Structure 1
Amino acid sequence: MAPPPLFPLPPLLILLVIVPLFPTAARTATTLPLYRHLPHVAEAVASHHHPLSRLAAASLARALHLKRRDPNHHSQKGSGGHPSVPATAALYPHSYGGYAFTASLGTPPQPLPVLLDTGSHLTWVPCTSSYECRNCSSPSASAVPVFHPKNSSSSRLVGCRNPSCQWVHSAANLATKCRRAPCSPGAANCPAAASNVCPPYAVVYGSGSTAGLLIADTLRAPGRAVPGFVLGCSLVSVHQPPSGLAGFGRGAPSVPAQLGLPKFSYCLLSRRFDDNAAVSGSLVLGGTGGGEGMQYVPLVKSAAGDKLPYGVYYYLALRGVTVGGKAVRLPARAFAANAAGSGGTIVDSGTTFTYLDPTVFQPVADAVVAAVGGRYKRSKDAEDELGLHPCFALPQGARSMALPELSFHFEGGAVMQLPVENYFVVAGRGAVEAICLAVVTDFSGGSGAGNEGSGPAIILGSFQQQNYLVEYDLEKERLGFRRQSCTSSPS
């Protein structure tokens, strides 16, 4: 048996990483650099919350959002009864852990950075100078990049009877709110309910919410333009990235669907480069494929079908997990989602640390502890502070640790054998004190195994996708991956 991989222990800073988007013709590849977005964090906040604690908490909050019970997620006003995030887990910018890109919108074009999110399908950006972002990651309202529809000659509000209005509202809701006006809009005797504009939307995420109006405008790239791109013009947000979000999930509102992309791919830069603005990853829209060395996994649908939110997610045909080369015995719900939306494995760029349902997490964590075999002492202090476990104390004077391999096995024979830096993180303030499994779970509530709407059992997050080329082949309904360096220098 091959010896376990050695985990080098360089200083590790966990910050935001971000990406740029431009529309593309369906068969033509457009490659764009990933770039760093380092939002402000108040010193007092940073001193009271370890970066990994915020990152773990945000990953858990995001997972609970994806696992929400109520499918009508666009109109939710709260968390839907999910177990609360630990009290130590403040959701601050460095804990979002996303990747973002620059969208060029309007006439003339206005560039805006937005986060890439494969776990949702609505794109939205802050609108108007009066945009309000509560508990967001910008140091001041004036620092928030805002799109101004009034400065764009191609911008228009989406109508109440426009089919895209049903992207954010049910047909029953619109039947009540979209009655034809018996008088001219704005007239003194015109009922307020008789509006021809699509009613305001409200979208809830694990870390907060956003609300506003649907608009349509031109999305631009060098040499081409996509008119009538529909997105949210947000007026108020809570605990959100200040610059907005681009939905790359399944469904008509998504960027791939509106741009008619047969595929898209990304290469997520390792977080060890978070402090180096001279290197970048990449986002590719369109193209012909990843080429040599790619492994492909079938994309499967949840038995819940297109029912929201499950119809938005990219489900993978997982067949097993191994730790240290040994298969972990997992419950059936890890491999397939039932008609109620419970179970299955999805891939999500908006989740940082991979989430495992408690029924899946416990066998995996036990296998890690067993494979370590008592060579390293458990660090309960690190586990309590960070909300990650198991954590192992670094032996005094050690510069590396022998840790078990973690691999995901998929239908068709594809195996994602993760490098150790993709599933263990260095913990400690100043000097390195411990390493922790970079996976989160929720022990405060039951797994909901088999319950309606209890959501995916496994959410494969972006931390585990570092230095992988990941291709979403929408035509052939498959996801490809290949391990490679995602580091490139700007020209």
Structure 2
Amino acid sequence: MAPPPPLLPFVLLPLVAAAAVLAPTTASTTLPLYRHLPVVGESAQQHPLSRLAAASLARASHLRRPAHQKQKQQPPPASTAALYPHSYGGYAFTASLGTPAQALPVLLDTGSHLTWVPCTSNYQCRDCPPAAVTAAAVPTFHPNNSSTSRLIGCRNPSCLWVHSAAHLATNCTSGATTVCPPYAVVYGSGSTAGLLVADTLRAPGGRAVNNFVVGCSIVSVHQPPTGLAGFGRGAPSVPAQLGVHKFSYCLLSRRYDDNAAVSGSLVLGDTKATGDRNRMQYIPLVKSAAGDKQPYAVYYYLALTGVEVGGKAVALPERAFTANAAGSGGAIVDSGTTFTYLDPTVFKPVADAVVAAVGGRYKRSKEAEGGLGLRPCFALPQDAKSMALPELSLHFKGGAQMRLPLENYFVVAGRAPGPGADAAPSANAEAICLAVVTDMGGGSGGDVGRGPAIILGSFQQQNYLIEYDLGKERLGFRRQPCAASS
């Protein structure tokens, strides 16, 4: 874990002095998800798809080589919330925290487990988009305005969520009231740092979940203008703290980016069985051979058995299917990654199979590939009303098969920008590109062999109901329209 930014100790001091008190219990909740596009800090002329590709690759790099650190009860009734898509690539819902409740948008992230929100009037976001630079411009949590907010102490077990026992033994002085040291969390394209607090989370319908532990972030670097809700495996996650053993989401089509009038949905808890439930296919969720080693224990690994392009099986290396004791290899599902990531050993045979299936019918668009970071890209024939492109399907243990619709793995790129950061779009023809990313240069930078080999991103999950059945260790899916009027 990277050390906190130099500014951190100074901006945290007012927070330590301003703690309040909190309450107890658990519950479940359903929230609307809306979409968010990753911040990559490039010129306004940059094509939005290149930002998404760069952010997806940065996210994959983080998930694959992160810094290592170290009772059964009646589940609460299900609750549902609207889930909105954003142009920076993520999906967000609104959480209500504190007493009285403060409404805060947070990104749904199944690839991490700590929840954090921009916090206090001192919140600073470095290298962030203009709208997120100051606390006044973003929804910010104010613990001083909540009668149920309190800082987490050194002796609180949740302090071990962000620090090792050895670190606490060295940095916590005697006395049970000592504050848990500041945390610093590093993501693929940035980081965030602050203090842990506990407060009341209010679920839809007015239910209150007391003592919900959340990161009160004072400093963030290269982050979108929201907080983050961790839905990965582990005690800090939203499902674990709420005591729910099942959650599901339906991700709205990308064409509704930043449209507050339409949303997908997030359901915390079980939903009533319907006739459509019979159409659900289930995949076993497996765990990395790395065991409890972080962060691999946080990820949802899928029992992938094969990939087909154009109805033909693609020959893939063994690491595409299973992870070893070091956490290398395997396939995970991640709502926080936009475009699916394939490491070079997996990407090359898949991309070659796509090119072979196209069979020279369409010209490769090198301009789009160079400008967007996506490949292969094919130039759209002039006046073409359709293109014959190969089907892509994923096969899983037990016979489940995800036959992706074309719009979930190819993206119409428009005219790619010309050379140079500030160049206007070129006069080249529009192109359609495979919406999958990999390490440029074939992974010569040393990434091959580290972390998951496949990260199934949110672009590929559009208009699918995705169900995480944690009690039965399985993931369910079925195609369905996700749009709902907000």
Give the TM-score taking structure 1 as reference length: 0.83
Q: Residues 249-277 of structure 1, C-alpha deviation per residue, up to 9 Å, x if partnerless? A: 00000000000111000000001222643
For residue 245 of structure 1, the aligned residue among 207, 218, 228 is 228
Q: Distance in 1 between matches of 2:201 and 2:400?
A: 36
Map 1:27-426; keep pairs closer than 5 Å: 30-35=29-34, 45-47=43-45, 49-72=46-69, 96-139=88-131, 140-141=133-134, 142-180=136-174, 196-221=178-203, 222-274=205-257, 276-288=259-271, 291-426=277-412
Match of 2:467 in 1: 471
Q: Distance in 1 between matches of 2:223 and 2:447?
A: 30
Structure 1 residues 175 and 39: alpha-carbon distance in aligned structure 2, compared to 1, 3 A threshold: closer
- How far apart are residue 294 of structure 1 and its match? 0.2
Q: Residues 56-115 of structure 1, C-alpha deviation per residue, up to 9 Å, x if partnerless? A: 000000000001153128xxxxxxxxxxxxxxxxxxx97740000101000111010000
SS at match of 1:292: helix
Preserved contact between residue 358 and residue 390 of structure 2 (Cα < 8 Å): yes
- How far apart are residue 242 of structure 1 and its match? 1.8
SS at match of 1:218: strand
SS at match of 1:459: strand
> What is the one-letter code of the residue matched to 2:48?
P
Structure 1 residues 202 and 259: alpha-carbon distance in aligned structure 2, compared to 1, 3 A threshold: same
Preserved contact between residue 247 and residue 269 of structure 2 (Cα < 8 Å): yes
Match of 1:4 in 2: none
Q: Residues 444-475 of structure 1, C-alpha deviation per residue, up to 9 Å, x if partnerless? A: 33486884xx1000000000000000000000
Structure 1 residues 366 and 422: alpha-carbon distance in aligned structure 2, compared to 1, 3 A threshold: same
> What is the one-letter code of the residue matched to 2:163?
H
> What is the one-letter code of the residue matched to 2:466?
V
- How far apart are residue 224 of structure 1 and its match? 1.1
Preserved contact between residue 39 and residue 223 of structure 2 (Cα < 8 Å): no
Q: Distance in 2 between matches of 1:115 and 1:264?
A: 15
SS at match of 2:297: helix
> What is the one-letter code of the residue matched to 2:394?
F
> What is the one-letter code of the residue matched to 2:357?
A
Regions of 4+ moved over 4 Å: 36-42, 447-451
Preserved contact between residue 213 and residue 232 of structure 1 (Cα < 8 Å): yes
Q: Distance in 2 between matches of 1:323 and 1:252?
A: 39
Q: Distance in 2 between matches of 1:25 and 1:270?
A: 32
- How far apart are residue 292 of structure 1 and its match? 2.3
Structure 1 residues 481 and 94: alpha-carbon distance in aligned structure 2, compared to 1, 3 A threshold: closer
SS at match of 1:98: strand
SS at match of 2:263: coil
- Between stretches 239-248 and 114-123, larger displacement belongs to 239-248
Give the TM-score taking structure 2 as reference length: 0.84
Preserved contact between residue 158 and residue 214 of structure 1 (Cα < 8 Å): yes
- How far apart are residue 41 of structure 1 and its match? 10
Structure 1 residues 378 and 145: alpha-carbon distance in aligned structure 2, compared to 1, 3 A threshold: same
Give percent identity, aligned residues only: 79
Count of paired positions: 430
Match of 2:80 in 1: none
SS at match of 2:307: strand
> What is the one-letter code of the residue matched to 2:115?
T
> What is the one-letter code of the residue matched to 1:35?
Y
Alpha carbon RMSD of aligned pairs, Å? 2.3
